[in-house]
Amino acid sequence: MPQPMHLTDDIFENEVLKSNVPVLIDFWATWCGPCRIIAPSIEELANEYSGKAKIAKLDVDNNQRTAMQYGIRSIPTILIFKNGQVVDTIIGAVPKAKIEEALLKHI
């Protein structure tokens, strides 16, 4: 079963900005309770949309450069990128259906 990709500051440009498919990124941290609540939804989406979109996670504590670059102030924050640009933002622990609905607009 495909798992979400674990992004770092170093691979962000190649894996996200240069991606030829939409990329959904869950900005999270290990200490964040709401992040743990949505984690199963992110994992399910990685499996369901394998090949159609990249589903990824970025730990904001270990990758502060990227988190700061995109103005991540609260987590979980989900950004959807298409053609190197942010095309959608979801902030907070939301149901899987809301995340999926946002992703489907860009596939």
Catalytic machinery residues:
32, 35
What's the start-to-end Cα distance of the chain, in Å? Answer: 21
C-beta of residue 29 within 8 angstroms of C-beta of residue 35: yes
Q: Distance (Å, rounded) from C-alpha 17 to C-alpha 1? A: 25
Query: Order of strands across the sheet with 54-59?
Result: 5-7, 54-59, 23-28, 77-82, 85-91
Q: Distance (Å, rounded) from C-alpha 91 to C-alpha 71? A: 12
